[in-house]
Amino acid sequence: MGENGFRAEEIDTTKPHPARIYDYLLGGKDHYEVDREAGEQLVAAAPEARIGVRANRAFLRRAVRHVVGSGVRQILDIGTGLPTAPNVHETALEVAPDIRVAYVDNDPIVHAHAGDLLGPDGTTGTTGITIGILLADLRDPRAILDAPEVRAVIDFDEPVALLLGAVLHFLADADKPQEIVATLRDALTPGSHLILSHATGDFADRSGAAAVYRKATAAMNLRTRTEIERFFDGFELIDPGVAQVPFWRPDTPPPPRSHEIGFYGGVARKSR
């Protein structure tokens, strides 16, 4: 058993993993040859893939700044992926102090790297930041909500920003993703927010990109805008609603080929 609570043999390096493919496309270094090969296959199938993941990351940063600016001080980030500077808590700190973030992912490598954010006392060393890290699967939302690692950081009697960035498309319809989101939503108090991004094939045939993920540890399930909007049931979408990620409240000119980017994003508030 390793220091982070898992055995080395639990880390599958024979198949590409979505978090490590994402890291490769972002220009990171926490991936393996199988992930690089899958990343290149993805770019061949969807030439906008690199700008797409970067645009998605930029959307998540803008969305985090928005919800923290609205007064939320707690973030539950499920499917966090490998740490990418600036991290979610670093982005939140740009707006306000006293931030609390619970990071959740089902990949032991992500868990290990996220653990490296913490010092021996369980903090980041940054004043005002409290972080929890949990190795868990989105398919069991109740286990996430009840986990001590989450409960030690998140007070569900206060508003929470639920962050589901580029993760729901790795759930098949058989996993009942709408029910999963509803379970998470029902645990949130009014004033909480949902930040969500999701891959789509609305703008081009991306069956080739989906085929790359069928060889990975998780398949990608492309959904339409209408299907993605259903994840926001029980929330009130804020302007501009569900939009391609480069066009959700941009703070810089959208990158070239933005109209081809197959990611939708949206932010919504739970009012009751």
50-89 per-residue burial string, b: 16 or more CB within 10 A, e: under 16: bbbbbbbbbbbbbbbbbbbeeebbbbbbbbbbbbbeebbb
- pLDDT band for 84, please (50, 70, 90 cuts): low
pLDDT at 83 over 80: no
**Per-residue pLDDT tens digits for 14-73:** 889 888 899 899 888 888 899 999 999 999 999 999 999 999 999 999 999 999 999 999
Give the largest Cα separation in the chain, rounded. 49
Q: Residue 179: what pLDDT?
A: 98
Percent with pLDDT over 70 in the chain: 87
Structure tokens at 234: 């029980």
Q: Residue 109: what pLDDT?
A: 73
pLDDT at 115 over 80: no
The whole model's pTM is what?
Answer: 0.90
At how many degrees (to 10) do helices 49-69 and 18-25 cross?
A: 100
pLDDT at 250 over 80: yes
Q: Kindly report the three-state secondary structure assignment for every residue of the chain.
A: CCCCCCCHHHCCCCCCCHHHHHHHHCCCCCCCHHHHHHHHHHHHHCCCHHHHHHHHHHHHHHHHHHHHHCCCCEEEEECCCCCCCCCHHHHHHCCCCCEEEEEEECCHHHHHHHHCCCCCCCCCCCCCEEEEEEECCCCCHHHHHHCHHHHCCCCCCCCCEEEEECCHHHCCHHHCHHHHHHHHHHCCCCCCEEEEEEECCCCCCCHHHHHHHHCCCCCCCCCCHHHHHHHHCCCEECCCCCEEHHHCCCCCCCCCCHHHCCEEEEEEECCC
How do 129-135 and 236-237 pair as beta strands? unpaired
25, 111, 159 from 11: Cα distances, Å: 20, 11, 35
Structure tokens at 268: 């919504």
- Burial environment of residue 252 by CB neighbours within 10 A (0 to 12, 13 to 18, 19 or more): exposed
**Per-residue pLDDT tens digits for 169-210:** 999 999 999 999 999 999 999 999 999 999 999 999 999 999
Percent with pLDDT over 90 in the chain: 71
The answer to whether the CB of 41 falls within 8 A of the CB of 212 is yes
pLDDT at 9 over 70: no
pLDDT at 2 over 60: no
Q: Work out the mean pLDDT of the chain and round it to a whole number.
A: 89
pLDDT at 5 over 50: no
Lowest mean pLDDT segment, chosen from 37-41, 69-73, 106-110, 239-243: 106-110
Block residue for tokens 């089902």: 106
